[in-house]
Structure formats: C-alpha cells, structure tokens
Amino acid sequence: MLIDDVNKNVLSNKQLNVTSISSLDSFNTKDDYGLNFSRSSSYNSADADVQLLNNGDSKNSSNATTNAFSTQNYNSTNGYGLINGAAAVAKATGQNTFGDVPNLGGNNWGADLVKAPEVWAQGYTGKGVVVAVVDTGVDYNHEDLRNNIWTNAKEIAGNGIDDDGNGYIDDNYGWNFNDKNNNTLDKNGHGTHVSGTIAGENNNYGVTGIAYDAKIMPVKVLNDSGSGSYSSISKGIRYAVDNGANVINLSLGGASSNSSLESAIDYASSKGVIVVMAAGNDGESSPDYPARYAYKSGIAVGAVDKNNNMPDFSNRSGADEIAYVTAPGVKVYSSVPNNQYATYNGTSMATPHVAGVVALMLSANSSLTDAQVRQIVTETAGNSTQTTSSSLNLSNVSSLAKQVIADTAIDDTQATISNFNISNVSSLAKEVMSDDNLLTIGAQTANYLTLQTISSFNTYDVGDDNKNENNPDFWKSLEGMQKQMDQYRKFLGIA
C-alpha cells in the first residue's frame, strides 16, 4: 500500500517530506518528514544531538581553486547542474555519451531524469559495488531490497564472537552506532527510502534503483526519530570504509562544522571511497555540513523536481565553488519498512540518485578515485559547456573578459598592473582566438567585448606610473586586443 507523506500530514511547512530522520532530511522533524532528512541535521557540538540544520555559518571553502573543475560551468544556485549519468559513465569508460533510450515514466521519472536507463542499456547496473547507507538503518527484509543487501561474509551470525576481528561482534548486517549493537533495522523509514532509490531491485514492481545490482551496507547512526551525533556519524563512515564500501550516502547534515566528521570524510576520500552528501533543506544560499566539505572531498547534492526546477527548500550551492550537482528530490517514490512504499521530498532523496550514478560509474571503471569521480561528475553535469572540439577549459569570452577586467582594475596604486595584466590580456586573447575556441564560442558571448567595454579600462586610474603618457605599452596592448576581438567578431559575422 502506498504511504503518502502528504496524506499523513507529515510535510513540514516548507513542504519537504520528512517523516523520517534527521539526516539532511533526517536530523530533525522540521523539514523532511517528521524528522529532518533533508535539512541536513545539525549538531551543536562534536557529540551533540543532531538537529535540523539552520543557517549555520560555514567554514568556508575558498580552496576550490585546488580543484580541477571548470568554473565557467559553476554557479551559486545549482552548482554544476543536473547530474547526467549517461555522460558520466561514458566519460568514466573513455567513450562518448551514450545514446538516449525511451523513458520509463511513472514512478521511475527520477531514473529517467538522471539518464540511468541509458547506462543500463550499456550493461552497467552497479554490480560489484557496495554503497553504505549511513542513516536510520535499513529494512533489509524488504521485498525490494533483501537481495541487494551487503552481508559481512567474515562474520558467523549469532555466535557472540568478533570473527573477523574488526571490533564489532556479529555485525552481519552492519553496525548500529547509535545504540552500540548489531541491530541495523530501520524503524523510521528514511534509510530504507534512501536505499530503494540507490538499489531497489529491478523486478517489475515497487521501485527500481539507479544502481539496481549494487549492494546496500546498512550503517545506523541515527535513532528511530532521526537524530544522532557527529561522533556516531564519523564512526559510521569509518566503519563503512574499513568494511568494503565503495560509496557512502549521507542524507543528513548539520549547521556547524565538526573536525571528527571532516576527518572521517577525508579518510574515506584517501581510501578511494566517494562520499555523497545532501545539501540540506533550509532554502539557504549555501549547503549544510558535511556537504560543505565538497570543496575538497565528496559530492554535495541539491534537489530538483521532474522539470529540473529547484524547489525553495533546497539549499543552494553557494558562491564558493564546491563539487555540487542536483538530482530528483521532489515527490520521490521509494521503499519504506514492512514492504511498503512512500513519496518523500528533500535533498535526502536527491542524494541517493547521485550515489547510484557514482555506483554505476564504479561498476564501469572500478579504478576511479574520489578526485576523478568528482571531476567527471561536475564536468558532465547539466551546466557543462564543454565541446569535443576544444581542448582548453575556456567556455566563453565573457568569463575571460571579466577575468581580465577584474585583474586589471585591482588597485589605484599597484604598478604591477602594467606587467601582469598586459601579458594576461595578450595570452587570454590568443587562447580565445585559437581555432578550437573560435568554434566553441557563441555570438552572444562575443558581444560582451565591445569597443565600449575595452574603452572602460580608461576609467580606472592605475597610478601616475601607468598613465597613457608614461606607459604607452599598456594601451598599445589593449589596442592590439581590440583588433583581435574585432577580427573574431567578423569571423562570427557579428561585426
């Protein structure tokens, strides 16, 4: 029987469906279900109870410059845009993007939107990949999940002995870090819903997961009402890494940073495990934690509806560049305990779509590192402007012009402007004018560099030592750039 959160009045005033936990849609009950799974639960201190995420000041991530991402494809609202499973898996295998296939429709619209069927048609279904769901637990007896549940083959069930010496007795179905025992069954529903989106069986009923042949590792870090601590979550992440997980789904979060949590995510990355994190359901301009750590490790995920529109509740990507993509997170149909199904809203629901795509990538190419997965996912997402003809990461003239202008108008007193920016203008112009890039830049973008734009350089007082009469080389370089751009505009027929 279909359980609809709306009918059960479990939607929050933000209309997120949270009847579930407190992990990004699940740490409290304010925004996702009656718990918060998509508001990224928030913890007040290292071991404080996880609560709904509020704004929380974020530790920022200006380190984005260390990433191999293309900033031209990133914006502060939806990051790199909608994840494209077909393009990502194709790139992971050194191929062009896979051809379109008919949509499945119905409750499988989310799989259609992320182009999972195109990947399945190529034979990649997540087989051999383990995805840890670090959440409220998992109903591993569910009809749509029971054949896709990871079990600890090194442990003998019920003998009261830590057979594999990993520090956990009888952890056949993972471990419960909230209650410190081996009972990982889900009484909340959030973790089971997430699991169905990732690896629901392809059996012609219920829900078909994005990576329907992957295995789900249950790791319970939140209590039955969807609350938990950073300490439990950090331990859960390390457990997943040490026991064979390839991907970790974190549909949870909090408002503040935490060194133990950050360290655990860094540990996963160092071991080649990709952590996928919900951005949060606060409707804020930047993600909650741990999603904000995606400036260096893992992937942050925001929500969109079936028309690829971002709902008000989804936290945006923020001005500081991070590995942030979007995925279906509105009215997502999936499994809940006791062989039932329900429709939920939240970034907690978007996150497993991305975790599933990552599982497909790893089933196609198991050697991919965290850094490689992050780069491929962002480069192939919806905002990508890459073309096969260009080897340079320059997507448009506008961004280059803005870069030159910003670098040129640094400060009235900086005499370095004539030395630094003249070379920048020249080299950037040459790159723009290269044969490859001429083919990739549109006429609308070319219109950005007009005579008036170039002339605006004259409005900046760059100091007596750099004025026209004392530094003719500076203006000569600008005139040269103008001529190059005039040639370019003629080439495009917009002179």
**171 and 245 share one domain:** yes
Q: Is residue 37 part of a domain?
A: no
Q: Is residue 323 part of a domain?
A: yes
| 83-92, 230-239, 314-323, 401-410: least confidently modelled range | 401-410
For residue 233, is pLDDT > 80?
A: yes
Q: Is residue 22 part of a domain?
A: no
**411 and 367 share one domain:** no
The count of domains in the chain is 2
Instruction: Tell me the C-alpha distance between 292 and 277, whole Å.
Output: 9
Range of the domain at 475: 397-491
Q: What is the pTM of this model?
A: 0.70
Q: Is residue 372 part of a domain?
A: yes
pLDDT of residue 97: 84
**355 and 414 share one domain:** no
Q: Is residue 54 part of a domain?
A: no
The catalytic site residues sit at 135, 190, 348
Tell me the sheet residues that pair with 289: 254
Q: Is residue 386 part of a domain?
A: no
Instruction: Tell me the C-alpha distance between 38 and 374, whole Å.
Output: 22
Collapsed DSSP state (helix, strand, coil) of residue 87 = helix
For residue 296, is pLDDT > 70?
A: yes
**294 and 442 share one domain:** no
**110 and 74 share one domain:** yes
pLDDT-based confidence at 95, cuts 50/70/90? very high
State which of 380, 407, 428 marks the end of a domain. Answer: 380
State which of 355, 380, 405 marks the end of a domain. Answer: 380
**CATH number, domain at 111?**
3.40.50.200
Q: Is residue 387 part of a domain?
A: no
Do 352 and 197 meet the contact criterion of CB atoms below 8 Å apart? Answer: yes
**337 and 253 share one domain:** yes
**87 and 130 share one domain:** yes
**73 and 194 share one domain:** yes
- For the stretch 389-413, pLDDT in tens is 233 333 333 333 344 334 333 333 3
Q: Is residue 178 part of a domain?
A: yes
pLDDT-based confidence at 285, cuts 50/70/90? very high
**458 and 359 share one domain:** no
**Nearest to 397, CA basis, from 440, 436, 435, 426:** 440
